[in-house]
Amino acid sequence: MSKIIKIGTRDSELALWQAKTVQKLLENLGYKTELVPVKSTGDIVLDKPLYELGITGIFTKTLDIALLNHNIDIAVHSLKDVPTILPKSIKQVAVLKRGNVNDTLVFKNNEEFLSAKEAIVATGSLRRRAQWLNRYPTHTIVDLRGNVNSRLQKLKDNNWNGAIFAAAGIGRIGIRPDESINLDWMIPAPAQGAIMIAAHQDNDFAIEACTQLNHEETKICTTIEREFLNKLEGGCTAPIGALARIKDDEVTFKGVLLSKDGSKKIEVKSVQKLGRHQGIAEYASNYIIERGGKRLMDYIKSEGKKTNVYSTKSLTEDQRLLFNENVKAESSDFIKTNPNRIHNHIVKEEIQNVIITSKNAVDALLTNFSSEELRFKNIYCVGRRTKRLVENKIGKVKHSEKNAKALAKYLVEFIDGTEVTYFCSNLRLDDLPTVLEENHIRVHEVEAYQTKFDAVELDDTVDSVMFYSPSTVQSYKQKNDKDVIAFCIGETTAKEARKHFKKVKIAKVPTVESVIELVNEHYI
C-alpha cells in the first residue's frame, strides 16, 4: 500500500475534522494518506444567504473539479451539502456512521423567549427558517452565514435571542454551548449528520479502500432522504426536510415541504419493513405532490423571478400550473362587467333568432329571467364554452362558430328569417351587426351588460400580454403604451391587437389553455 490517497476537503474547521476522521480510519486500515484543503464558493461568499447564490453544489463544486482533474483521490463532504445527482464520472463510495441528526437552538440567557410574541432568531437555512416561522409565526428571522465559530461569535455580538445550528457540526468540534437544546420537532435536512466520501469512478484503489468504511444502515436512510429530495426537485432553494430511521427491522420516514415564510406546510410519514423500503421515497414525494406540493414548489421556484407575461383575465391555479419554467405570469381582470336591467317585454314572446357571444351575456339573461322565461327558438353562439353554458342553462344551440366574423358569415347564408336579437355589451368591437345589416338582416341589439375598463399599469419587465377580447386590448392601452407581444385568443381579438402591436400571435383554439400553450411555445 505504498500509494498515497489524497483526501480533498474544504478548509473550515468542521470540514477538516471530517476529513481527518476519514484519514484516521483509512490509516487504521493501513493506507497512507494526505490532506488537500481547498476553498469553496460557499466559504468565500458570506454576504448573501445560500439560497440566493443559485449555485448547485456550492460547497462541493471545487472538490468535484479536483476529482475530475485527478488532483485528489477522494473528497469528503457533509452529505447534506451534496447535490442529489453527482457529476458524471464521480460516485459515492462510502457513508460513515451517522452522527446527531437534530438541529440545535443555541440561546442567550434562557429559553423564555420561546413563549414571547417577539423574538429574533438567526439562521442561514431556508428549511430552518420556514419550520421556525411555521411554529413561531410572529418571530423575526435574520440571516446567519460563516463557519460554526464565526456564527457563534455573531450570536454573542448581536441582539439576537438565539441561533440554529446542526447538532453534529457544533458537537464534532467540541464547541456546543451549555445554553443549547435539540429541536426534536424540527425535521432535519436530508442526510444531515452524515459524512460522505466521493471518488472518481476510475480510481479503483481509492474506491476499494473507502468502501470498507461504509455504514450500511446510514447509507439506506440517507439514500431514502436524498431520493425524496430529488423527486420533489428541491435543493437549497426549497424548504424541504427528511429523516429516515431504522429500528426493529422497520424503516420510519418523515418528510416535509414548506413555503419560504412557513405559512404553508405539507407533511408525510411512512413506515415499511426493512427490505421492502425501496418505494418509500416515491410514495412520500407523490403524497406531498398530490396534496399541493407541486403548486407550492412552482410558487417557490417563481419567487424572485421578474414577471414577463401578463394575462388580462384572472387565471385559476390550475391554469398557472400549465406555464413552463421560463414563464413568470401574473394576471388580473382588465374588464369588469355588470348585468343591466333587461325589460320584460323583450322576452315576453318567443324570439325567433338570438345571438349570444359571451358568458357575460348568459349571466345577464339569467340574472333577469328564469330559464323557463327565455323562449328562444334558434340560438347562435360564439365559442365552445359559451355554447356549453347556454345549453346547460338556457336551451339547445342551433349553431356556433369560433368567432363573431365566422358566425356572421354563416348567418348571412343560413339564418331562418330576416331578423335577429343580439344580447351584447355597451362596448361592442366586433363587426357582426354591420355584416348582417349589409346583407339585409335586421339586428335588434339588447345591451345586456355593462363593460368597464379596469387595466393596471404593468412593470417594464412584462414583454408579452395575453388578450381574450378586443375590449381587453383597449383596456390595456388606457394604462400602457409599451409595444408587447400580443397572445390572442382568436382572430377578432387579434384584429384589434394589430392596430397597436407589431407582433401578434393567435391561439389554435379559443381557450385560455390554448393561449397558455402559445406562450409556452414562445418562451421554450
Q: Which amino acid is at 395?
A: G
81 is catalytic: yes
Cβ neighbours of residue 216 closer than 8 Å, sequence gap 6 or more:
none
Cβ neighbours of residue 473 closer than 8 Å, sequence gap 6 or more:
467, 486, 493, 496, 497, 499, 500
Q: Write down the catalytic residue from 73, 81, 103, 430.
A: 81
3-state secondary structure 34-72: EEEEECCHHHHCCCCCHHHHCCCCCCCHHHHHHHHCCCC
Q: What is each CA distance from 216 to 86, 95, 189, 243, in whole angstroms? A: 20, 8, 19, 16
Task: Return the SS3 of 188.
Answer: coil
Burial class (CB in 10 A: 0-12, 13-18, 19+), 413: exposed
CB-based contact 60:40 (threshold 8 Å): yes
CB-based contact 113:198 (threshold 8 Å): no
Q: Which three cell numbers stand for residue 322?
A: 400549465
Q: Which of 432, 411, 410, 440 is closest to 495 using CA atoms?
A: 432
- Cα torsion for 10, 11, 12, 17, to the nearest 10°? 80
Alpha-helix residue ranges (DSSP H) falling in 356-501:
359-368, 384-393, 404-414, 432-438, 470-479, 491-497
Q: What are phi and psi of 375, to 5 degrees?
A: -100, 90
- Residues catalogued as catalytic: 81
